[in-house]
Structure 1
Amino acid sequence: MRMLTVAVMAALLAVAGLAGPAHARTTAPRVTAKEVYLIDAATGTPQFARRETRRVPVASLTKIMTAYVVRRSASLDAVVTITKADVRHAAANGAARAGLKAGERLSVRDLLYALLLPSGADAAGALARTYGPGVRRFVGKMNAAARSLGMRDTFYTNPDGMPQPGGDHSTAFDQVTLAKTVLADPIVAQVAGTKRHAVAKTPLHRGHVWKNTNRLLPDDAQGLKTGYTRPAGYCLMFAAARDGRTYIGVILGERTDAARYRTARSLLDAATAAAAAA
């Protein structure tokens, strides 16, 4: 009878979350974004999913695909000349800029930093114009790359993610696929994970200092990209190592800048706790 009573009490405590397996006590992440997807990078196992296949704009996360296409098309040491059109396009659309000036000549390597750290639409325009050649052909390459990667619910209309007639869209699921792909490229991974990059003045260009817009760096993540437009909301593509595991996540349609980082940290904390309890 005593043994039966102990067994019943243990069962009741386990149901209440006061005893039993550790995973019974893990806390669900606090997620306020509209679309979210988080995976274990090594296994591809989903850790959290919310409307991950819903088609929505992804703002400047688009520039990760721009970097991917450039890496397949250009030498890092190749030199690109900035034009008035590159600068004018970014300024006219109110986009984030890297402060480039017409006539400057910068390497592709440096322009990747200008593209991904301050999220420069001027750098995106210069790279797309050069390696399309022409922006329209470059966007065609972006969409071809998306198809080749199995990103079936993704369509790009420009290389910078600014709102444009024609309706660019992707999904959290597809963007995680892209993130996993580009992390295998050591150059893109290095650039996207850099907090600050300085370019010294030369006869070819002015001096520049670019700071990464990703506030998870360097302690909470290894990269990859932020984004914001009014239609897309606050977006974040990130990768982080926790306790020997790497997690890759995408947050879309978040309400505020601060909220996207809270959501990312909460997702990572919950995934880490679940892995420890398994």
Structure 2
Amino acid sequence: MRKSFPDKKKFRSGGSRLLMALPVLLCLTALSGCGQKIENKYDIDTGIMRMNSINTSLTETNSAKGFSVGLALPGETTFNADDISAEAALMVEFGKEDPQAVAYKNPYVRTYQASITKVMSALVCLRHIKDLQQEFTVTENSAITVEGSSKAWIYPGETLTIEDLLYGMLLPSGNDAAVAVAEATCGSVEAFVDEMNRTALEIGATGTHFVNPHGLPDERHYTTPYDIYLTMNEAMKYEEFRKIVGTVNYTPHYKDKNGAPKTQNWSVTNKYMLGETPTPDGLEILGGKTGTTNAAGYCLTMDAKKISTGEEYIATVMKAHTKDELYQNMTSMISTIR
């Protein structure tokens, strides 16, 4: 079965078209073959240079003329984020023709994304696979033994739908489910990671590099708050993604390795959605993704909606020192939504 991609976004900077257009190959067979390997690596300095070409200048309102259609471009230091103690943060309007970055701190700093990686994993899967009711049998590669690795508690030989695997990856943040999503989408983790990097470049996330689909630590696996915004901005355009990350509890029904029925319950890790952290008055949290490792610290990206107007904002806090600090910082930032 041939897989198809949505039209690539066209980026413009200083009047030049297709700033970063790259060829993307179609998947040639169901659940396998997702494109060519990218040999050239890239870093944050290259990313900022691409985003701020010689013909692009920042305005007093911290946006850039002609960078891209429908995307915000924050400045490089701090704006409306004096209460943020974490290393970096960014909040941007979502869904507007000319969105603005309304708060930010170090939006282009390189950070480790931990399980926020799974937003890109979900995006790649949804771009490739239209029928999420296809079944996939979990392989031995999902048996991750790294101490402290978050799990959906699925095991080799068990058969789940791809939709179930997405829930297992995004709600309990299962690294085992992320490997299964990768293999179900592209046939191998390696091919899937290549597609993650290709997709990052395509959407303009030039300060990002992936080496795995789940976010376990690796010095070559990094991103920036701005690139997380770009990724969430794309992912939230998919109704399936919005549905999954907006779910608090999910019960999959699948088959164990012997074909017998099996079920369990998965819960989201976002404390706002669990009711463990109060959501500021007038706002609704539509969903997002947490991430935590020793290297990344405590991280969260999410979509918050202003109930009175329906306006949405993508908010990200990276590398807080504690979970309490993470949610305090996020609450301080989204409380400025008026």
TM-score by length of 1: 0.83
Counterpart CA distance in 1 for 2:151 and 2:210 is 20
Counterpart CA distance in 2 for 1:36 and 1:76 is 33
Structure 2 CA distance for partners of 1:200 and 1:255, relative to 1, 3 Å = same
Asked if 1 retains the 8 angstrom alpha-carbon contact of 2:152 and 2:266, the reply is yes
Contiguous gaps of at least 5 residues in structure 1: 1-26, 273-278
Asked if 1 retains the 8 angstrom alpha-carbon contact of 2:245 and 2:289, the reply is yes
Classify the secondary structure of the residue corresponding to 1:206.
strand
Asked if 2 retains the 8 angstrom alpha-carbon contact of 1:106 and 1:204, the reply is no
Contiguous gaps of at least 5 residues in structure 2: 1-79
Counterpart CA distance in 1 for 2:200 and 2:212 is 13
Alignment counterpart, residue 236 of structure 1, candidates 300, 325, 333: 300
RMSD across aligned C-alpha pairs, in angstroms?
1.7
Counterpart CA distance in 2 for 1:40 and 1:147 is 22
Alignment counterpart, residue 158 of structure 1, candidates 201, 205, 212: 212
2:288 aligned with 1:224, yes or no?
Answer: yes
1:107-136 deviation per Cα after TM superposition (whole angstroms, max 9, x unaligned): 011111000000000001111123222111
Counterpart CA distance in 1 for 2:164 and 2:158 is 12
Counterpart CA distance in 2 for 1:49 and 1:155 is 22
TM-score by length of 2: 0.69
2:232 maps to 179
Asked if 2 retains the 8 angstrom alpha-carbon contact of 1:61 and 1:161, the reply is yes
Asked if 2 retains the 8 angstrom alpha-carbon contact of 1:36 and 1:252, the reply is yes
Classify the secondary structure of the residue corresponding to 2:251.
strand
Identity of paired residues, percent? Answer: 28
Asked if 1 retains the 8 angstrom alpha-carbon contact of 2:169 and 2:177, the reply is yes
1:143-164 deviation per Cα after TM superposition (whole angstroms, max 9, x unaligned): 0000110111111110000012
**Amino acid in structure 1 at the alignment position of 2:114:** A
**Amino acid in structure 1 at the alignment position of 2:157:** G
1:57 maps to 112
Alignment counterpart, residue 243 of structure 2, candidates 182, 190, 210: 190
1:138 maps to 192
2:314 maps to 248
1:261 maps to 327
- How many residues get paired? 243
Alignment counterpart, residue 264 of structure 2, candidates 201, 208, 214: 208
1:209-252 deviation per Cα after TM superposition (whole angstroms, max 9, x unaligned): 10000112165411110000111110101111123221111111
Alignment counterpart, residue 169 of structure 1, candidates 222, 232, 240: 222
Structure 2 CA distance for partners of 1:103 and 1:205, relative to 1, 3 Å = farther
Within 5 A, what are the aligned runs for 1:111-150?
A: 111-150=165-204
Counterpart CA distance in 1 for 2:326 and 2:296 is 13
Asked if 1 retains the 8 angstrom alpha-carbon contact of 2:81 and 2:105, the reply is no
**Amino acid in structure 1 at the alignment position of 2:262:** R
Asked if 2 retains the 8 angstrom alpha-carbon contact of 1:29 and 1:270, the reply is no
Q: How big is the shift at 1:205?
A: 4.8
Q: Greater relative contact order (Cα 8 A, min sep 6): structure 1 or 2? A: 1
1:184-222 deviation per Cα after TM superposition (whole angstroms, max 9, x unaligned): 100001101111001235545520210000112165411
Q: How big is the shift at 1:178?
A: 0.9
1:101 maps to 155
Asked if 2 retains the 8 angstrom alpha-carbon contact of 1:201 and 1:208, the reply is no
